Structure 1
Amino acid sequence: MEHIKLGLKENWKQFTILVIVNAFVGGMIGMERTIFPQFANLEFGVASKTAILSFITAFGLTKAITNYFTGKLANRFGRRNLLLIGWLLAIPIPFMLINASSWNWVIFANILLGMSQGLTWSSTVVMKIDLVGEKDRGLAMGLNEFAGYFAVGVVAFLSGYVANKYGITPYPFYIGIFISIIGFFLTLFFVKDTRAFVHKESTTDNTDQLNNVFLETTFKNKTLSAVTQAGLINNLNDGMIWGLFPIILFSLKYNAENIGIITAIYPTVWGIGQLFTGKMSDIYSKKAMLFWGMLLQGLAIFFIPFSSSFLALVLISTILGLGTALVYPTFLATIAQATIPTQRAESIGIFRFWRDLGYAFGAIISGVTADLFGLEYAIFLIGGLTIISSLIIKFRMPETSKVIKECIYSDVQ
């Protein structure tokens, strides 16, 4: 125990490996991000918005459930072991998409993708928090989410470019074969488990234990529950953007390459922005960053139906990325601050359970609304929910200087 030291500088080699691994994790999402609505339409004749978005529903549900169990099992089985299992689940996915004979095979591939992402992304998040200690948590999460979502953007652009040049299948999915195999071997040979760092931090941490981690994270604790609802709404609007934004661009006669550029800007700005917003969350008010980030997202979504020019859509995608960059590392840094080390993985798993259920809710709500009333109504509904979420942050969440005090006295409150 004596040789274990917490800190980003002290553990930079292992931290860097985990950042690289999470870039590969994000790349698996980017493979699908641009091309899937066209893939559904051209390969399987799936035209209904609800049916097209069913792959996001399957992904969101399974990722959410896997996040929950990853958080609960991380201390028992080890973060590295769960990360390896996640990569093993990822390897068959691109092969299934290349050889899919029906849309049901695509849904099954996305169930596997959800399980894989829940295991891999959750594990890398928790391992980085374990390594760095309290001082650099925001920066650690910024670097983690930067790597993941920058990779989403880059691979989304690449898959759109390849699809435009060589066809919607099979070539874009070859990217996924490369990513999953390299990610597995990087983890197998270079990643070390971090449970010993949890025990080390537990000896000096003064945060009080939560009585019921699920109830406190979801409902009772004002800080944790405010963050959790915002996480759910954030991914609810991301599910809509993932599924409907390419459809809108396709209806505006943009080709696959231009759709790839516009849709890639959002996660790319989101990813790069977190290099700065992660460290900001260590210094500035987490509550203010969460409020403004959710508000920016909601306002940007409202402008989508009024925009058709390439520059306007690029601007909207950029603002969406900035808004999401403000909140994403801040969510995780706030959860980590508000929980003791031994309960942190479980609380993050519960937060990520609700957050990634947002993908499923967003896909279902926006898909059904679009089919019944039109795309514009779906977009306005999701934009409105995002603005309401920002107001919940503003009026329910205490200032972050009160977070630790609130956790100590959460039973009384």
Structure 2
Amino acid sequence: MGGSATPRLGLGANWRQFGVYTFITVMVGATIGVERVALPPLASAVFGVRSVLLTVSFLVPFGVTKAIGNLVAGHLSDHHGRRTILRIGWLFGVPYAVGILVAHAWWEVLAANAVLGINQALTWTMAVTAKIDLVGPTRRALAVGIDEAAGYVGVGLGGLGAGLLLGEGGRSVAPWILALVVVVVGGMASVWPASETRGHALVEASADGGSVGESARPGPSLLHLAWLVSWRDRALGVVSVAGMLTKFADSLMAAFVPLLLLHEGDSVALIGLIVGVYLWVWGLLQIPTGLLADTIGRRWPVVGGIIVIGAGLGFEALAHRPFTAVAAAIVTGVGMALAYPNLIAIVGDRADPRWRGGALGVYRLWRDGGYAVGPLVLGVVAQALGLRAAVDAGAALLVVWGVVMALTLPETHPGRVGRARHPH
């Protein structure tokens, strides 16, 4: 904290710790990047899974535990600190990688993915919360944009490493050894040199009046907080549903679109290019889109982003040539970059810093619940009407919700409106 008795807010004042937590986010992303490349080939090649619904089912236990883990981790971090929860999160990375290594049945792979969900919930939630704590209100969206960009750079690096190490037939121990190394490195960075950041949140809370000590009073209970974020604050409720739909979209790009292209005769190389372009555009553009939202406000980047995601998915379902398929992936990635970090920034705007960790946990419960609900709902559509219909259904949902947000979502940027914080 720079040796100061009272923590200072701002990216410039906290750039060293911000950099440490950014590195940690890269490690978090690399952990899941290994899975995205190394796990799907196991389904058919090793475990004999042929059904589309069963193939994408690995996302379901991951989504369930990550959603619940987000809720619990965010709330606990408001009482026990961000770094403590972050360290615990890394402990869950070890049984995940080992579980995949020793799995002899598909259900064991699903169980390992449930553990990965806990790891991702605790580590990524704490990494982004710490960055928001450090920078204060004026650069909140930029902080989230850098966090998410770092995470998806990590996803790309982990996926690249896993692809280079993956053996013939999809079965190799090397990618999972890589996952273990990433977990150890991320855990070590969380023990040292990462420091606790909750004090920065309390300083921000005290800026509304009162001392830092008075700002440390207990926040609302977990159930009350869930009600506040999900229903009482209509803006946060609308944003929470939008977050869930972004995971519908990501599920489509991670599993359904590759399967659709594969069934239509496209090469594995082209599919890898499409998924890679989507992830890299989404990841890297979140820095300028976060800065954009800090400049012009959150509302229109988010509304536009949700609609653009839907348009990109619809375009992807119609694509019949490699060029148009790659172009559709770029459009979808741009939409995700506009919406994804700025949805989190809206939650940071609306929540009191004293219970911001818990509010972010509730939002991330909704958002990552999309990994649990999306593959099931869209998988049923795919089984009944085909993969193209599933992609079209997801695209339509996003466009419709974007219109709903345009009609209902207020601006939340602290410099453009009053600090709309809610009583306990």
Fold agreement, TM-score > 0.5: yes
Task: Output aligned runs, 1:307-346, within 5 Å.
Answer: 307-346=319-358
Structure 2 stretches lacking a partner, 5+ long:
none
Task: Output aligned runs, 1:277-296, within 5 Å.
Answer: 277-296=289-308
Q: Hey, what's the Cα distance between the residues in 2 that align with 1:130 and 1:401?
A: 16
- Out of 43, 57, 69, the residue aligned to residue 40 of structure 1 is 43
Maintained 8 Å contact 1:205/1:340: no
Query: Which moves more between the two structures, 60-69 or 29-38?
Result: 29-38
Report the equivalent of 1:60.
63
Report the equivalent of 2:388.
376
Q: What displacement does 1:201 show?
A: 1.6
Aligned residues: 410
Q: What displacement does 1:120 show?
A: 0.3
Letter in 2 for 1:213: L
Q: What displacement does 1:81 show?
A: 1.2
Maintained 8 Å contact 1:161/1:256: no
- Out of 100, 103, 107, the residue aligned to residue 106 of structure 2 is 103
Task: Output aligned runs, 1:13-412, within 5 Å.
Answer: 13-163=16-166, 166-170=168-172, 171-205=174-208, 212-400=224-412, 405=418, 407=420
Q: What displacement does 1:98 show?
A: 2.4
Determine helix, strand or coil for the equivalent of 1:216: helix
Q: Deviations over 1:326-384 (max 9, x none)?
A: 01110111111111110211111100000000111111011111112211111111111
Q: Hey, what's the Cα distance between the residues in 2 that align with 1:409 and 1:196?
A: 21
Structure 1 stretches lacking a partner, 5+ long:
none
Query: Cα RMSD over matched residues?
Result: 2.3
- Percent identity reads 30
Q: Hey, what's the Cα distance between the residues in 1 that align with 2:310 and 2:157?
A: 24
Letter in 2 for 1:223: A
Q: Hey, what's the Cα distance between the residues in 2 that align with 1:181 and 1:308?
A: 43
Q: Hey, what's the Cα distance between the residues in 2 that align with 1:194 and 1:158?
A: 32
Change (3 A) 1:404 1:13: same
Q: Hey, what's the Cα distance between the residues in 2 that align with 1:256 and 1:275?
A: 30
Q: Deviations over 1:116-159 (max 9, x none)?
A: 00000000111111111111111111110000012213333443
Letter in 2 for 1:407: A
Q: Hey, what's the Cα distance between the residues in 1 that align with 2:290 and 2:209?
A: 24
**TM-score, normalization: structure 2?**
0.91
Q: Hey, what's the Cα distance between the residues in 1 that align with 2:228 and 2:155?
A: 32
Maintained 8 Å contact 2:142/2:290: yes
Change (3 A) 1:393 1:320: same
